[in-house]
Amino acid sequence: KTSLGIQATNGVVIATEKKVPSILVDEDSFQKIVNLTDHIGMIYSGMGPDFRVLVRKGRKKAQAYFRKYKEPIPVLQLTRQIAGIMQEFTQSGGVRPFGVSVLVAGCDEDGPQLYQVDPSGSYFGWRASAIGKNYRNAKTFLEKRYNADMELEDAVHTSLLTLREGFEGEMTAKNIEVGVVDKEMKFRVLKASEIADYLEEAE
């Protein structure tokens, strides 16, 4: 499924499709956007179980840093740690590479940041990026809509419009997820009611 991220002047937004395989599945029972720390969130496209392993390892690295230095881990440093874990799995015997690409969104003393990490372990900073199914179309759409002066509210609207471009069926607050981190360095996943409001405004 398509996932994307947009870096704004005062924060970062990440958004994704959250389609369940059957109407019988409780969509509240799983999340595609998670907190790694209070100021960093992560989203994936690919294999959910592989993502959970990365989340667990990433949280451990962040806590180890905090215990040692008594301050939150910088976004770039945690991204580098996650990329290192993914790269290790490409060259070790008896294991396979991770079947996920991830977007890491955070805000620290260097301001809002968005990084993409691929299964190879390569990572880059992006102003806006998309991963997963239809990522090429999503990136093309983002290239047309993105501007460097975009604020967080506009970035949320743009992320929803981009998702809608390649969305199969009706897009509702229940089948997408949106996470934001602002200048206060707080990452949070938006509630369904907040997403519904944004969807109304974006129509």
125-158 pLDDT per residue, tens? 999 999 998 899 999 999 999 999 999 999 999 9
Nearest CA among 188, 185, 167 for reference residue 176? 167
pLDDT at 1: 83
The sign of the torsion formed by the CA atoms of 175, 112, 142, 55 equals negative
The torsion angles phi and psi of 62, rounded to 5 degrees, stand at -65, -40
Question: Can you read off the two tokens belonging to residue 9?
Answer: 């002047």
Question: Mean pLDDT over all residues of the chain?
Answer: 93
pLDDT at 165: 86
Please, which pLDDT band fits residue 30 given cuts at 50, 70 and 90?
confident
Q: Bridge-partner residues for 113, per DSSP?
A: 106
Q: How far apart are the first and last CA of the chain?
A: 22
Please, which pLDDT band fits residue 49 given cuts at 50, 70 and 90?
very high
pLDDT at 181: 97
- What is the C-alpha to C-alpha distance for residues 63 and 48, in angstroms, rounded to an integer? 23
Q: Which residues neighbour 78 within 8 Å (Cβ) at sequence distance 6 or greater?
A: 36, 37, 40, 58, 61, 62, 65, 104, 106
Mean pLDDT to the nearest integer, 148-176: 91
- What is the C-alpha to C-alpha distance for residues 188 and 190, in angstroms, rounded to an integer? 6
- What is the C-alpha to C-alpha distance for residues 8 and 150, in angstroms, rounded to an integer? 5
Please, which pLDDT band fits residue 172 given cuts at 50, 70 and 90?
confident
- What is the C-alpha to C-alpha distance for residues 46 and 187, in angstroms, rounded to an integer? 22
Model pLDDT for residues 94-104, shown as the tens digit of each residue: 999 999 999 99
Q: Check pLDDT > 80 for residue 28.
A: no
Q: Bridge-partner residues for 135, per DSSP?
A: none
pLDDT at 22: 78
Q: Check pLDDT > 90 for residue 66.
A: yes
- Taking only Cα atoms into account, the Rg of the chain, rounded to an integer number of angstroms, comes to 16
Pick from 12-21, 141-150, 163-172 the range whose average pLDDT is largest. 141-150
Mean pLDDT to the nearest integer, 112-129: 97
Mean pLDDT to the nearest integer, 173-189: 93
